[in-house]
Chains A and B, each alone.
Chain A
Amino acid sequence: MPQTSMPRRTFIATGAAALLTAGTGLVSPLRSQGLAPSTSMRGGANNYRPGAPVVDRIGGGGFMMSGTVRRAGDGAPLEGIRIQIWAHTTEGRESDARSHGATLTNAEGMFQLEMPQIVPTFGQPHGHLAYDSGDFETVFLRPVMASARDTSLAAHFVLQPA
């Protein structure tokens, strides 16, 4: 007759460990305190130009950058938040002033800004977005396109009051 070879000590230790982690709620992610704030992405602030003007469209357009801005904790949408957007596009390089533009969020906390088609630079097709107005902690995002052929990109901010 085959016998299982788990020693009693191992059995008790495993059972105790399982009770400690699951039983006390140490590994329950559902108990986190509301919506966590966004953290700046690596390289997100590269070639940022503080104070880029609010525009209807960057250059000739053809590519749509969109996203949402919400408050950390309760997740309430934030209106009138200024988001700066820039990228290496068919019309200009990341550092060029004409590649930069800003837009404001609407009552639902949504923003969208038309810009020229993003082209891969430094090895990845990516865009840059910044919140840097002072009322909330500064956040720089650097979303990467799934494909260089994509004609839109989205990025979402969760801001922490400063």
Chain B
Amino acid sequence: MTVLRAILVWCAIAGIVAVSLAVAAGSEYLQYRRPVYVAAGFAGVIALALLLVQPLLAAGLLPGIPMRAGRRVHRWTGVALLSAIAVHVAGLWITSPPDMVDALTFTAPTAFSVFGVVAMWALIAAALLAGFRRKLRLRPQSWRLSHTTAASVVVVGSVAHAVLIEGTMGTVSKTVMCAVAVGALALTVGRLKPWTGALRGWRRQAGK
């Protein structure tokens, strides 16, 4: 039974990602784009795909990858996510510098730019928290709440960014991907309850 469940979960995730990439690869818009723009677009799709598994890995919710191993993979998918966003932003910058400057300075005419840039900064914040965890010397509960909050902004911002864009992704596969990303985040946050310890700590400090 557990084996069957594992197969189903992994097939579902692989299927959603594969179909999304296939639909994007068949987009008629690709023929009018330079290779660097195409690469930037696909880096965005890959980043969204990584967001499906990233929270689940942290909570050990993916079948076959227990919490301990999941956390290790989680760090590497985090690095992959950062790399994908770096390619996405750099590729779009090369494609049209003025449009990218507008986006990064929050002066673009499109709302999705704002969501995308906010998600990017939240991703950088979450990564810095992870990279300097020891040096920061935060209480574990505070660290976990901060990292989860930043990660939640990443997912919500990225989903809003993706949904509002008219690009190479198919409407149906994009919607499914975004729904699963939000579901994975909700499932993880519901399981880990990152606020419990942190709130208790604050109350205790406030009481002193």
Contacts and interface: CB of A to CB of B under 8 A. Distances in A.
Interface string B101-112: 010000111101
B26 interface: no
B102 A125 contact: no
B166 A125 contact: yes
Contact of A42 (B32, B34, B107, B164): B107
Contacts of B98: 43, 45-47
Interface residues of A, number: 22
A11 interface: no
Specify the main secondary structure of chain A where it touches its partner. Answer: loop
A151 interface: no
Contacts of A94: 96
Given A122-B92, A123-B166, A124-B166, A88 B32 contact: yes
B29 interface: yes
A46 B166 contact: no
A76 interface: no
A47 B166 contact: no
A21 interface: no
Given A88-B32, A148-B166, A123 B112 contact: yes
A42 B166 contact: no
B131 interface: no
9 contacts: A43-B99, A43-B109, A46-B96, A47-B96, A120-B167, A122-B96, A123-B110, A124-B110, A124-B166
Interface of A: 41-47, 88-90, 93-95, 119-125, 142, 148
Interface of B: 29, 32-34, 92, 95-96, 98-99, 102, 107-110, 112-113, 164-167
